């Protein structure tokens, strides 16, 4: 913390009185919590995580020398230790987050280890999705009973894996019910500890899980999934811009970062004509799960936009780019070429807008992000064989010059201001 | 504290559920191993691994198809019942498949239709046995595969899975090469 280091100097120079300096010091100390407690919490979770994972690996070795009955007894050892630790925490250490988090983490992993070992001893055939489902369901209550945030993160990771194993290509939507079961904990966490690290991790893992989980919707009209993804990323950007995230760090705003990167990735990918041609040939089933999901997610996005518009808040281009994408999708069915041209134009406009915003706010990061976006578009065009080498070469030189000049101009502007 | 009146019993219930799942898995399998009828299934193993359960050998059974007349009557993932018989060499064969549990025999296994394919002029239902993994100590799984490959070179050797069957459920108890458990075979080769 720079400010705390500067305090003695500020007091000495008479800028602030000692009283204010003490108050500032007290404020930051209370805000950060006791460093010792945090260290204990992190080492407790790490310890439980490593021991739990170690037990799974030791079990996976499959000890031939042990008889079936010995193995069966050993199966329950980690589970019982975990349950005892959990019980002790509830009775004696309920207020100690280190105990709560580490006992929940250990118990979480030992439940998985126990089921895995039983499957191994009895050669139960591999169905990873059933295993993950049982494991997650048996451990969900730990999140609420032991109030464990790390168990919640493990649960989110587990159900996301389950979505891929059990939901992809199988029309199985159990993942969504499991996700609903963890959301109350997430909302409570956001409300009670909006600035904590655990909340930040959730802000990353929840949108990542949603993006992966969306794949479970795929059935016959997979092309429509593009609208689902684009709208979901649009919703992420809208959430990332919301009042809740206004005071939080950029790095903990997983919604905004994933929304930006995802939308940019899809738009650059869709700047190729071939992809729009494929979409134009696709037959769209109105009642397919993809269509229903696309309507639902876009509906959520539009509602958020309307609310924002009614509150007369500033809406940036990236927040409603998903609406343009829906129009482009419809246009592709009339002309793939037109959709391709408009996608390229859209990417260019977004890139230029970001560059302009960067220049206005004197923000080098934003300026270069915009330039990178335009460069990505040009690199993508580099692979289009129907463009002449000379033209591609000129474009590259121009963008290179753009990078150089824009940064030079910005740095010069800063030096003038400072002088 | 008032809250712990609910939380502690709830935690005990969760613990019981966490114990119940593995215990019921064990009880069910033990019952089959103890009271089920034994069958030998001819097989062909290889050695992959599972992130949680370790190394195992995959068992590909020689008889994993059965001829049917109407392909549309056997949709993918449909639960089917494989009726078992023992041939003159002492190995299990499938005498019939049905969509309902058989009333005339207790020797059957529940399985699922993987797909139906047309070959050799007939439709065939492809299915998987509910015992396709044999977990082994990690150092032995690869050698078990080598032992199997060696046994394949010699046509007089036979690899088979020993399976106990009871009321449609099956538990794999061992994999043997010419009557010698594959674990023992690996140990013998090490000497």
| B153-170 pLDDT, tens digit each | 666 677 888 999 988 888
CA distance A43 to chain B (A): 24
From A87's Cα to the closest Cα of chain B, the distance in A is 7
pLDDT surpassing 60 at residue B48 = no
Does A89 have pLDDT greater than 70? yes
The residue with tokens 């650059």 is: A268
**Residue A77 burial (C-beta neighbours within 10 Å; 0-12, 13-18, 19+):** middle
Bridge partners of B162? B40, B174
CB-closest option in B19, B52, B136 to A112: B52
Q: In sequence order, which residues have a C-beta less than 8 Å from that of residue B89 and are 6 or more positions away?
A: none
d(CA A370, CA A270): 18
Q: Give the residue from B54, B137, B140, B133 showing the smallest Cα distance to A57.
A: B54
- Which chain A residue has the Cα nearest residue B25? A118
How many Å apart are CA A262 and CA A260, to the nearest integer?
6
% of chain A at pLDDT higher than 90: 26
Give the nearest partner residue to B135 out of A91, A123, A146, using CB atoms. Answer: A123
Shared domain for B68 and B29, answered yes or no, is no
The alpha-carbon gap from A393 to the nearest alpha carbon of chain B, in Å, equals: 49
Task: Please give the residue that has the higher pLDDT: either B90 or A160.
Answer: A160
Which comes out higher in pLDDT, residue B113 or A31? B113
- Is B57 in the same domain as B23? no
B22 and B60, same domain (yes or no): no
Q: Which of A59, A87, A134 sits opposite B11 (nearest CB)?
A: A87
State yes or no: pLDDT of A60 exceeds 60. yes
Domain shared by B152 and B102, yes or no: yes
Write the CB contacts of B68 (distance below 8 Å, at least 6 apart in sequence). B74, B97, B116, B122, B123, B124, B125
Q: How many CB atoms lie within 10 A of CB A268?
A: 17
For the segment B137-146, the average pLDDT, to the nearest whole number, is 75
Best A125, A138, A161, A165 residue to mutate vs chain B (most B CBs within 10 Å): A125
- Chain A residues whose beta carbon lies within 8 Å of the beta carbon of residue B51: 60
Assign 3-class secondary structure to chain B. CCHHHHHHHHHHHHHHHHHHHHHHHHHHHHHHHHHCEEEEEEEEEECCEECCCEEEEEEEECCCEEEECCHHHCCCCCEEEEEEEECCCCCEEEEEEECCCCCCCCCEEEEEEEEEEEECCEEEEEEECCCCEEECCHHHHHHHHHHHHHHHHCCCCCEEEEEEEECEEEEEEEEEECCEEHHHHHHHHHC
Alpha-carbon distance of B157 to B165, in angstroms, equals: 25
Coil/strand/helix, residue A419: coil
A55-59, A409-413, B12-16, B52-56: segment of lowest average pLDDT? B52-56
The structure tokens listed for A142 are: 């730990």
Place of tokens 């482009």: A328
| A72 interfaces chain B, CB cutoff of 8 Å | yes
| Distance from the B15 Cα atom to the nearest Cα atom in chain A, whole angstroms | 6
Which residues in chain B have their CB less than 8 angstroms from residue A63's CB? 137
- As a dihedral over the C-alpha atoms of residue A52, residue A54, residue A58, residue A61, rounded to 10 degrees, the angle is 110
Cβ(A379)–Cβ(A271) below 8 Å: no
Could A125 and B131 be called an inter-chain contact, meaning their C-beta atoms sit closer than 8 Å? Answer: yes
Angle between helices A2-12 and A18-32 (to 10 degrees): 170
B3 plus B48 within the same structural domain: no
For residue A7, pLDDT over 60 is answered with yes
B6 contacts chain A (CB < 8 A): no
B30 and B116: one domain? Answer: no
B26 in A contact zone (CB under 8 Å): yes
Residues B132, B134, B135, B139: is their CA dihedral positive or negative? Answer: negative
Same domain, yes or no: B162 and B102:
yes
pLDDT, one tens digit per residue, over A65-84 is 777 788 788 778 889 999 99
* Mean of pLDDT over chain A: 84
Rounded distance between C-alpha atoms, residue A351 and residue B132, angstroms: 54
- Residues of A within 8 A of B55 (CB-CB) are 60, 62
Q: Is the ipTM of this complex over 0.90?
A: no
Same domain, residue pair B31 and B49: no
Q: Are residues B151 and B95 located together in one domain of the fold?
A: yes
> Beta-strand (E) ranges in A163-311?
none
How far from A277 is each of A125, A221, A265, A293, A294, CA to CA, in Å? 43, 15, 19, 23, 20
Chain B residues 30-59 within an 8 A CB cutoff of chain A? 50-56
On whether any CB of chain A is under 8 Å from the CB of B5, the answer is no
For residue A121, give the chain B residue with the closest CA. Answer: B135
Kindly identify which residue of chain B lies nearest to residue A112, measuring between CA atoms: B52
pLDDT category of residue B133 using cuts at 50, 70 and 90: confident
Contact B136 A112 (CB under 8 A): no
pLDDT for the residue numbered A231: 93
CA–chain centroid gap for A353, Å, is: 25
Surface of B (93-152) touching A: CB under 8 A: 130-138, 140
Residue from the list B10, B52, B132 with its beta carbon closest to the beta carbon of A56: B52
How many angstroms away from the CA of A82 is the closest CA of chain B?
Answer: 10
pLDDT level of residue B17 (50, 70, 90 thresholds): very high
| Closest listed residue to residue A197, CA positions, set A52, A42, A30 | A42
- Closest by alpha carbon to A265, among A230, A238, A237, A216? A230
How far is the alpha carbon of B29 from chain A, nearest alpha carbon, in Å? Answer: 7
Gap between the Cα atoms of B141 and B147, Å rounded: 10
Name the 3-class secondary structure at A214: helix
Identify the domain containing residue B133 by its residue range. Answer: 37-190
The answer, yes or no, to whether residue A271 has pLDDT greater than 80, is yes
Chain A residue nearest residue B184, CA to CA: A64
Task: Note whether B82 and B157 are same-domain residues.
Answer: yes
Which residues, in sequence order, are CB contacts of A337 under 8 Å at separation 6+?
Answer: A273, A276
A16-20, A194-198, A409-413: segment of lowest average pLDDT: A409-413
Partners of B94 in beta bridges:
B84
Count of the separate structural domains present in chain B = 2
Q: Is the pLDDT of residue B47 over 70?
A: no
Q: Would you state the pLDDT for residue B150?
A: 67
Same domain, yes or no, for B83 and B104?
yes
d(C-alpha A380, C-alpha A315), whole Å: 29
pLDDT at residue B136 is higher than 70: yes
Q: Which tokens hold the place of B77?
A: 């993932």
pLDDT at A244: 83
What's the pLDDT score for residue B14?
A: 92
Mean pLDDT of the region A174-185: 94
**pLDDT at residue A174 greater than cutoff 70:** yes
| Beta-bridge partners for B171 | B164
Out of A94, A138, A145, whose CB is closest to B21?
Answer: A138
Residues B147 and B157 in one domain: yes
């Amino acid at each position: 913390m720079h400010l705390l280091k500067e305090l003695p100097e500020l007091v000495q120079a008479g800028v602030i009185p000692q009283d204010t300096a003490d108050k500032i010091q007290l404020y930051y100390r209370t805000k950060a919590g006791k460093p010792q407690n945090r260290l204990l919490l992190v080492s407790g979770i790490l310890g439980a995580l490593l021991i739990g994972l170690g037990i799974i690996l030791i079990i996976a070795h499959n000890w031939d020398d042990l008889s079936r009955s010995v193995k069966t007894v050993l199966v329950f050892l980690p589970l019982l230790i975990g349950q005892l630790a959990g019980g002790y925490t509830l009775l004696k250490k309920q207020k100690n987050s280190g105990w709560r988090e580490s006992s929940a983490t250990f118990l979480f992993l030992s439940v998985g280890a126990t089921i895995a070992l039983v499957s191994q001893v009895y050669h139960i055939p591999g169905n990873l999705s059933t295993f993950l489902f049982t494991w997650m369901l048996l451990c969900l209550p730990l999140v609420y009973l032991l109030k464990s945030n790390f168990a919640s993160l493990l649960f989110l990771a587990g159900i996301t894996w389950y979505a891929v194993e059990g939901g992809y290509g199988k029309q199985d939507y159990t993942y969504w019910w499991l996700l609903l079961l963890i959301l109350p904990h997430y909302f409570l966490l956001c409300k009670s500890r909006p600035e904590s690290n655990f909340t930040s991790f959730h802000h990353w893992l929840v949108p990542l899980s949603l993006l992966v989980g969306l794949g479970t919707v795929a059935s016959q009209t997979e092309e429509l999934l593009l609208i689902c993804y684009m709208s979901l990323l649009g919703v992420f950007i809208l959430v990332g811009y919301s009042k809740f995230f206004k005071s939080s760090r950029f790095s903990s705003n997983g919604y905004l970062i994933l929304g930006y990167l995802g939308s940019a990735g899809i738009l650059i990918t869709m700047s190729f004509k071939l992809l729009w041609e494929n979409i134009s040939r696709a037959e769209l089933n109105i009642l397919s799960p993809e269509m229903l999901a696309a309507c639902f997610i876009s509906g959520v996005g539009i509602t958020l936009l309307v609310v924002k518009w009614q509150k007369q808040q500033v809406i940036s281009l990236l927040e409603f780019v998903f609406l343009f994408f829906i129009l482009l999708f419809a246009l592709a069915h009339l002309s793939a070429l037109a959709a391709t041209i408009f996608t390229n134009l859209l990417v260019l406009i977004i890139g230029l807008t970001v560059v302009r915003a960067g220049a206005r706010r004197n923000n080098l990061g934003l300026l270069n992000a915009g330039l990178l976006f335009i460069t990505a578009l040009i690199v993508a065009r580099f692979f289009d064989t129907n463009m002449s080498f000379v033209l591609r070469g000129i474009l590259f030189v121009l963008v290179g010059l753009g990078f150089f000049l824009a940064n030079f101009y910005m740095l010069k502007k800063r030096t003038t201001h400072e002088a | 504290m008032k809250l712990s009146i609910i939380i502690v019993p709830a935690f005990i219930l969760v613990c019981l559920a966490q114990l119940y799942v593995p215990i019921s898995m064990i009880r069910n399998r033990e019952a089959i191993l103890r009271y089920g009828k034994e069958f030998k299934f001819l097989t062909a193993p290889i050695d992959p691994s599972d992130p949680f359960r370790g190394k195992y050998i995959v068992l590909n059974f020689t008889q994993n198809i059965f001829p049917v007349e109407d392909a549309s009557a056997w949709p993918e993932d449909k639960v089917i019942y494989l009726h078992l018989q023992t041939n003159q060499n002492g190995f299990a064969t499938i005498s019939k498949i049905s969509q309902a549990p058989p009333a005339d025999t207790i020797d059957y296994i529940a399985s699922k239709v993987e797909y139906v394919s047309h070959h050799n002029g007939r439709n065939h239902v492809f299915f998987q046995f509910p015992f396709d993994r044999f977990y082994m100590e990690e150092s032995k799984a690869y050698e078990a595969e080598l032992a199997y490959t060696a046994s394949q070179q010699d046509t007089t050797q036979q690899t088979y899975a020993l399976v106990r069957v009871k009321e449609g459920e099956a538990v794999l108890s061992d994999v043997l090469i010419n009557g010698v458990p594959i674990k023992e075979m690996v140990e013998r080769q090490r000497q």
